[in-house]
């Protein structure tokens, strides 16, 4: 299969490319930019006039719900959602059922995902068995099975001794520890930011200190053990500042933010909209501004979708009982474009946070349009407006705070390994 993509605006943040050029694909690889190799004869030509040709997105946090939660989503439905959103590589957290704490499970997940010939799946293994925070998993075996890092998903390790050992052990092999910083006692029972809105609505709050306290512990132990840390989904201004300081001191720490938190605040909860029940909670305006600033100045490396499909039965509950999370794979790219537009920053800079910089955290060859790189890319119509509605989402989860919103930017084609895996209807 040889594909020629003509007349598109090529944006590749990694190589500082933003220009109208043709791109040539053969045998799953990019074989030419601007001009093709001698004798290249396209079997298919895509006219990309008016479209952006982008590296396939790399999403650092997408729950696929398999195994164990097939009533919320299946691997197939969510992989379809991924390519419909232009996401060609994604990392999934280990909080499936059973938990991704055994090599066999990881191999099975990788195998099933591969069979689908859609996006690439990079599992994060559990740090502790069954995420119970007690016994370490076989990190080396899990890595051989395909894990790219180790995570506790949303479950904190309360025992700092275990956290310390986990970081020491991971540092032995150079594995990265992924943690969403939240001190579990302060956050206990909380469902919203401990601010004005929660006070008014009578929701139990999660103070910003739950995040900063956890970051302080994690960074202290990381400094002692030399472990590489990735902090997931920062939500507070103070948290961003702590990471900024840690990076200035040269600690091997990276972090991400969910796209939801770059757009929304606690006020979006409105009259108890359960779609705004997220983890971490939506916080104040000041936090949102600081998160945006963090992405712009590079303190925050990546933006993720934090894709969490939830079934209606679990979502149509009073706010506090509704399961947290939002579907996001198909919204990530248009929401990043919207964010760049509102912040008035160049699109390539914003896209770096969902392509090359995210790929660097996973240490995978993705998120770029370099010559000889895997041909994972998507073609976006930046002008097409669409309304976020349940019926247009491929994901089995229809839960998103952005329901009803008109977004600009829709993926027209997605290619993985040089194969056309998605084409808009």
Partner 1 sequence: MLNPQLTPDGKLRHLLSTEGLPRAILNQILDTAESFVGVAEREVKKVPLLRGKTVCNIFFENSTRTRTTFEIAAKRLSADVINLNVNTSSQSKGETILDTIDNLTAMHADMFVIRHAQSGAAHLIAQHVAPHIHVINAGDGRHAHPTQGLLDVFTIRRYKPDMHNLRVALVGDVLHSRVARSEIHALTTLGVPEVRVIAPKTLLPQHVEKLGVQVYHDMREGLKDVDVIMMLRLQNERMSGALLPSAQEYFKCYGLTPEKLALAKPDAIVMHPGPMNRGVEIDSAVADGKQSVILPQVTYGIAVRMAVMSMLAGNSA
> Any idea which residues carry the catalytic annotation?
306
- Cβ contact 281:235 at 8 Å: yes
State the minimum distance, in angstroms, from the CB of residue 196 to partner 1: 5
Please, which residue, 29 or 267, has the CB nearer to partner 1? 267
State the minimum distance, in angstroms, from the CB of residue 73 to partner 1: 19
Length of the chain: 425
State the minimum distance, in angstroms, from the CB of residue 213 to partner 1: 16
Binding of residue 202 to partner 1 (CB under 8 A)? yes
Please, which residue, 210 or 304, has the CB nearer to partner 1? 210
| CA–CA dist 40, 391 (Å, integer) | 40
Q: Which residues contact 62 (CB under 8 A, 6 or more apart)?
A: 78, 82, 87, 90, 91, 92, 304, 305, 306, 307, 328, 329
Among positions 241-270, residues that touch partner 1 (CB under 8 A) are 270
User: Which of 248, 271, 344, 404: binder of partner 1 (CB under 8 A)?
Assistant: 271
Please, which residue, 32 or 325, has the CB nearer to partner 1? 325
User: Which of 66, 76, 194, 301: binder of partner 1 (CB under 8 A)?
Assistant: 194
Please, which residue, 114 or 200, has the CB nearer to partner 1? 200
State the minimum distance, in angstroms, from the CB of residue 74 to partner 1: 23
User: Which of 203, 234, 259, 378: binder of partner 1 (CB under 8 A)?
Assistant: 203
User: Which of 47, 159, 196, 342: binder of partner 1 (CB under 8 A)?
Assistant: 196
State the pairing for strand pair 302-304/253-258: parallel
State the minimum distance, in angstroms, from the CB of residue 267 to partner 1: 10
Binding of residue 358 to partner 1 (CB under 8 A)? no
Binding of residue 33 to partner 1 (CB under 8 A)? no
Helix ranges restricted to H, 280-353: 285-297, 312-315, 332-343, 347-352
Prior bond of 280 cis (ω within 30°): yes
State the minimum distance, in angstroms, from the CB of residue 288 to partner 1: 17
Stretch that binds partner 1, among 145-153, 190-198, 253-261, 397-405 (CB under 8 A): 190-198
Sign of CA dihedral 79, 83, 87, 88: positive
| DSSP string for residues in 365-396 | S-S---TTSB--EEEEEEEEEEE--GGG--SS
Binding of residue 198 to partner 1 (CB under 8 A)? yes
- Cβ contact 378:86 at 8 Å: yes
State the minimum distance, in angstroms, from the CB of residue 199 to partner 1: 4
Binding of residue 195 to partner 1 (CB under 8 A)? yes
Stretch that binds partner 1, among 21-29, 37-45, 76-84, 196-204 (CB under 8 A): 196-204
Please, which residue, 40 or 272, has the CB nearer to partner 1? 272
Query: Any idea what DSSP says for residue 60?
Result: S
Binding of residue 224 to partner 1 (CB under 8 A)? no
Among positions 291-350, residues that touch partner 1 (CB under 8 A) are 313, 316-321
Binding of residue 272 to partner 1 (CB under 8 A)? yes
User: Which of 71, 111, 134, 200: binder of partner 1 (CB under 8 A)?
Assistant: 200
| CA–CA dist 229, 250 (Å, integer) | 12
The angle that helices 285-297 and 237-248 make with each other, rounded to 10 degrees, is 30
- Cβ contact 418:25 at 8 Å: yes
Tell me the Ramachandran region of residue 202: left when phi exceeds 0, alpha when psi lies from -120 to 50, beta otherwise: left
Binding of residue 199 to partner 1 (CB under 8 A)? yes
* Cα 135–Cα 137–Cα 138 angle in degrees, nearest 5: 135
Helix ranges restricted to H, 61-183: 75-84, 103-116, 139-145, 160-173
Kindly determine how many residues on this chain lie close enough to bind partner 1 according to the rule CB under 8 A. Answer: 23
Residues that bind partner 1 in the complex, under the rule CB under 8 A: 194-196, 198-205, 207, 270-272, 274, 313, 316-321
């Amino acid at each position: 299969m040889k594909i020629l993509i003509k007349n598109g605006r090529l944006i590749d943040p990694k190589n500082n490319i933003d220009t109208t050029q043709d791109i040539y694909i053969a045998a799953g690889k990019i074989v030419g930019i601007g001009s093709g190799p001698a004798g290249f004869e396209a079997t298919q030509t895509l006219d990309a006039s008016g479209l952006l040709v982008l590296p396939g997105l790399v999403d650092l946090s997408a729950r696929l719900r398999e195994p164990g939660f097939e009533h919320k989503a299946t691997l197939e439905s969510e992989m379809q959602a991924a390519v419909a959103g232009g996401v060609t590589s994604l990392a999934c957290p280990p909080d499936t059922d059973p938990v991704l704490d055994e090599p066999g499970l990881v191999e099975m997940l990788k195998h099933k995902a591969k069979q689908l010939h859609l996006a690439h799946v990079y599992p994060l293994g559990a740090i502790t068995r069954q995420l119970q925070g007690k016994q370490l998993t076989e990190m080396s075996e899990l890595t051989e099975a395909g894990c790219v890092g180790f995570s506790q998903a949303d479950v904190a390790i309360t025992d700092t001794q275990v956290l310390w050992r986990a970081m020491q052990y991971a540092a032995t092999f150079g594995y990265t520890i992924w943690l969403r910083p939240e001190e579990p006692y302060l956050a206990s029972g909380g469902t919203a930011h401990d601010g004005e809105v929660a006070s008014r609505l009578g929701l139990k709050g999660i103070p910003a200190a739950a995040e900063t306290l956890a970051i302080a512990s994690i960074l202290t132990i990381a400094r002692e053990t030399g472990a590489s840390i990735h902090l997931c989904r920062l939500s507070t201004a103070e948290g961003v500042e702590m990471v900024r300081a840690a990076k200035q001191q040269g600690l091997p720490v990276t972090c991400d933010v969910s796209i939801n938190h770059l757009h929304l605040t606690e006020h979006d909860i409105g009259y108890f909209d359960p779609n705004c029940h997220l983890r971490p909670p939506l916080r104040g305006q000041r936090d949102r501004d600081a998160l945006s600033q963090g992405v712009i100045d590079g303190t925050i490396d990546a933006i993720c979708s934090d894709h969490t499909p939830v079934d209606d039965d679990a979502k149509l509950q009073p706010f506090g009982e509704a399961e947290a999370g939002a579907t996001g794979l198909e919204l990530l790219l248009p929401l990043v474009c919207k964010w760049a537009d509102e912040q008035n920053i160049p699109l390539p800079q914003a896209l770096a946070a969902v392509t090359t910089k995210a790929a660097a955290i996973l240490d995978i060859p993705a998120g770029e349009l370099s010559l000889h790189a895997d041909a994972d890319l998507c073609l976006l119509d930046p002008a097409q407006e669409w309304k976020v509605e349940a019926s247009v989402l491929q994901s089995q989860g229809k839960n998103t705070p952005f329901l009803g919103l008109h977004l600009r930017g829709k993926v027209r084609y997605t290619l993985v390994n040089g194969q056309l895996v998605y084409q808009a209807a």
